[in-house]
Amino acid sequence: MRERSLTPYLFLAPFMLAFLLFFVTPVVYSIYLSFFVKQRSGAFGIATEVFGGFANYIRAFRDADFLASFANIVAFGIIQIPIMLALATIIALILDEVSGPLGRFFRSAIYIPYTIPSVIAGLLWGFLYSRNLSPLNYALQSSGQEPFNFLSPLPVLLFSIGNIVTWTWTGYNAITLYANLQTVSKELYEAAKVDGATGWNVIRYIKLPLMRPALLLTFVFSIIGTMQIFAEPFVLQGIGFVPVNVTPNTFIYDIASRSANYNYTAALAVIVAGITFIFSIFLLRMVNRSNP
C-alpha cells in the first residue's frame, strides 16, 4: 500500500516543520553567527562582520564576568538542588503516609506554587524581601533592629533566589517522586511488615531505594532548570541592585540588550546550551547504567 508509506510523513509534517524552523534553524544559525566578529574600518567606520574563527569563544572563556556567572550558578546548583530534592523526598514520603481529605489538601498546598509563573513568584518574594515591606523586616524594625538585606552580599542574594526556586519547584518534584512510589506493589510493603520491618526501616530499605531512579531523573531536570534561571533575578532588580552577571542568562541578556553584539551573544548561548546538553546526557547515561 503506497498510500500508507507516505502517511507517517504527512502526519509528522506540522511538528517537524515547526521543529526545523524554531529549533534546528536557530541553533545552526547561532552557531554560524558565533564564528563572526564585528570589525570597524577606522575609529568611526561602518562595522562589518568578518569571519573570526573561535574569537568569540576565546573571548567568552576570558570574560571574567561570564565566568563569574557560571561560578555563581554552579555554587547555586550544588546547594539549592540537594536541599530542594531532600525536601521533595520528605514530602513524597509524607504524601505516601497520609490519605483522605488531609492528604488531598496537603497535595494541593505543596503543588500550587508550581502553577505560579516564576516571574510572579519572583515578584511576590521580592516584596517579602524588600527593605520596607517585608514582614520579617517589619518585625526586626519594630524591635529596634536594622532591616535585613536580602540582595547583598552575593551569597545572600543566591540564597534569596534559591528560596524562590525551591518554593516554586519542590512540590513538582515531590509529586513526581510520589507518583513513582505509587507504582510500587503494595505486596512489597506487606511482605516487609511480615518480616518485621518497622516504619523507619521500610523508608530506609524499601521506599528510598525505590525512589532512586526518579530522584536521579528529577536531579537531571533540576540541573537543566538551574541553567535557565533568569526571571527571578530579573524581577528582584525591582527592589534593589542585582549584579547583571548573577546567572549566565542574566549576563547574556545584558550583553544582548546593552551592546547589541549578536555574534558574541550567539557564542555565549551556544556555550550555555552546549554545556548543559552534554552534562545532562552524561548524567542520564550514568543513570541508565546504574539502573539496568
Partner 1 sequence: MNPVSRQSTPKAASLERPKPAPGGRQWLLTVLIIAFCIYFLLPLYWVLVSITKDNGQLNTTFGLWFATPWHLVQNFQQLVNTDGGIFFRWMLNSFVYSFAVGILATAAAAMAGFAFAMFAFRGRDVLFNFILGTIMVPATALTFPIFLLINNIGLANTIWAVILPQMVNPFGLYLMRIFWQQGFPKDLMEAAYLDGATNWQIFWSLGLPLVRGGLITVFLFSFVGAWNNFFLPLIVLNDTSLFPLTLGLSIWNNTNTGQTPRYTMIILGALLSILPLIISFFALGRYWQGGLTTGATKG
- Measured in whole angstroms, how far is the alpha carbon of residue 287 from the centre of its chain? 19
What does residue 130 show for φ and ψ, rounded to 5 degrees? -70, 155
Q: Between 41 and 99, name the residue whose CB sits nearer to partner 1.
A: 99
Spatial distance between the Cα atoms of 126 and 134, rounded to a whole number of angstroms = 9
Tell me if 219 contacts partner 1 by CB under 8 A: no
What does residue 51 show for φ and ψ, rounded to 5 degrees? -65, 130
Min separation Cβ 80 and partner 1, Å = 15
Binding residue for partner 1, selected from 73, 84, 161, 272, defined by CB under 8 A: 272
Spatial distance between the Cα atoms of 178 and 91, rounded to a whole number of angstroms = 8
Spatial distance between the Cα atoms of 278 and 291, rounded to a whole number of angstroms = 20
Write out the binding residues for partner 1, residues 174-213 only, by CB under 8 A. Answer: 175-177, 179-180, 182-183, 186, 189, 199
Write out the binding residues for partner 1, residues 6-25 only, by CB under 8 A. Answer: 7-16, 18-19, 21-23, 25
* Cα torsion through 180, 185, 187, 189, rounded to 10: 0
Residue type for position 34? S
Using CB under 8 A as the binding criterion, the count of chain residues that bind partner 1 stands at 100
Owner of C-alpha cell 521506599: 207
Which cell numbers in the block locate residue 247?
Answer: 546567572
Binding residue for partner 1, selected from 207, 227, 243, 251, defined by CB under 8 A: 227
The DSSP call for residue 39 is: E
Min separation Cβ 103 and partner 1, Å = 8
Stretch that binds partner 1, among 43-51, 58-66, 76-84, 261-269 (CB under 8 A): 261-269
Q: Between 37 and 266, name the residue whose CB sits nearer to partner 1.
A: 266
Min separation Cβ 134 and partner 1, Å = 7
Q: Between 1 and 43, name the residue whose CB sits nearer to partner 1.
A: 1
Write out the binding residues for partner 1, residues 102-141 only, by CB under 8 A. Answer: 102, 106, 108-113, 115-121, 123-128, 132-135, 138
Q: Which residue pairs, CB below 8 angstroms and at least 24 apart, start in 272-275?
A: 272/227, 272/248, 273/27, 275/227
Q: Between 158 and 266, name the residue whose CB sits nearer to partner 1.
A: 266
Write out the binding residues for partner 1, residues 41-100 only, by CB under 8 A. Answer: 87, 90-91, 94, 96-100
Tell me if 262 contacts partner 1 by CB under 8 A: yes
Beta carbons within 10 angstroms of residue 48's beta carbon: 11
Tell me if 245 contacts partner 1 by CB under 8 A: no
Which cell numbers in the block locate residue 67?
Answer: 565566568
Stretch that binds partner 1, among 37-45, 57-65, 149-157, 264-272 (CB under 8 A): 264-272
